[in-house]
Amino acid sequence: MNEMIPDKKAYQSNRRIMCYIALGLMTITTLATIWDPVRMAHADGAIMTQYIALSGLVGAYFGFSRTAGSVSKTKGNEVKMSER
């Protein structure tokens, strides 16, 4: 992460909240489309654009947080099915 960020914990917390809000917006849009598909058909292009933008935002959050040096907590603790 960038060393110029003074409060890294708040930065990560705000990014996580932003990601959850984006996931919530996608869920609300999906439910609204299922609830009233005729009404949502008029906004077809806008809904597709919204999904592309929000899924890109969520994917970037999870993808960049994974490549930023975070290590899996289960790494090295794999158990084979035959050992159980």
CA distance 15 to 9: 10
Q: Average pLDDT for residues 63-69, to the nearest whole number? A: 64
- For residue 68, the model assigns a pLDDT of 56
The H or E element containing residue 77 is none
CA distance 25 to 19: 10
Q: Which residues contact 61 (CB under 8 A, 6 or more apart)?
A: 15, 16, 18, 19
pLDDT digits 0-9 by tens, 26-61? 899 889 888 988 887 888 888 888 888 988 888 888
Residues 22, 58 contacting (CB under 8 angstroms): yes
- For residue 21, the model assigns a pLDDT of 92
Lowest mean pLDDT among 20-29, 50-59, 67-76: 67-76
Query: What does the domain layout of the chain look like in residue ranges?
Result: 8-67
DSSP secondary structure letter of residue 45: H
| Identity of the residue numbered 15 | R
Of 27, 81, 17, the residue nearest 50 (C-alpha): 27
